[in-house]
Structure 1
């Protein structure tokens, strides 16, 4: 898999007759290793190891309903009081991050009301806080560490 603009982490990989699989620490199971999953697993480890978020507050592919459609947030980090705090939208490294990507995560946030939004393709990372009052994004240099 492609080297990302994130620290390298030791992942458990295995192969079956069709795919390479990666062990997801949050879901506690092996999943097919796609380029997007590579980014998702790196970013989960970044949140845990670099930003000190407890694994108990992190959900992966959490289902939500947006405009009567079933969607899944790539990574959802809850605050200690159980409310959504951070939504992370992961794209494969070859996918360019566009306004559509920000629109997608903003639609998810209409349901979740998280404090922070992160969009990443593993090479570029955008951290922002949604300014609901002014209907705009406030871009941040980095996301805060867990307190």
Structure 2
């Protein structure tokens, strides 16, 4: 797999039926190793190890409804009160991030109301803070590290 713009992490792999799988600590199961999954697993490790978000507040690949359509978000981090702190949209390292990617995460956020957004293809990372009053997002240099407050 491609070297990504994240620190190096240790992962558990297994090979079965000529498919390589990677262990997802959040879902507690092996997932087929596709380029997007490689990015997602690096991002989860980054959020836990570099940004210190507790594993108990992280959710991976769950369904949500947007305009009565079933969609799946990649990563969500909750606040301790159950509100959503951060949504992460992961793309394959083979896919360039463009306005459509931001539109996708903005549509998800209409339902989820996260304070922060992150979009990554493993090579380039973009971070935004929501301004709900002005109905827009502001780009940031990074997302904040975990804080209990």
Aligned residue for 2:111? Answer: 111
Partners of 1:58 and 1:18 lie apart in 2 by 30
Q: Indicate whether 1:50 and 2:50 are aligned.
A: yes
How far did 1:134 drift?
Answer: 2.5
SS of equivalent to 1:44: helix
- Scaled by the length of structure 2, the TM-score of the pair is 0.96
Unaligned 5+ residue runs, structure 2? Answer: none
Aligned residue for 2:88? Answer: 88
How far did 1:130 drift?
Answer: 2.0
Q: Indicate whether 1:99 and 2:126 are aligned.
A: no
Aligned residue for 2:20? Answer: 20
How far did 1:95 drift?
Answer: 0.3
Aligned residue for 1:41? Answer: 41
Partners of 1:62 and 1:17 lie apart in 2 by 26
Aligned residue for 1:122? Answer: 122
Aligned residue for 2:138? Answer: 138
How far did 1:129 drift?
Answer: 1.0
The 10-residue stretch of structure 1 (120-129 or 12-21) with the greater mean CA deviation from structure 2: 12-21
The aligned length equals 147
Cα RMSD of the aligned pairs, angstroms, is 0.8
| Divergent runs of 4+, >6 A | none
Unaligned 5+ residue runs, structure 1? Answer: none
SS of equivalent to 1:38: helix
How far did 1:113 drift?
Answer: 0.3
How far did 1:137 drift?
Answer: 1.9
SS of equivalent to 1:10: coil
SS of equivalent to 1:14: strand
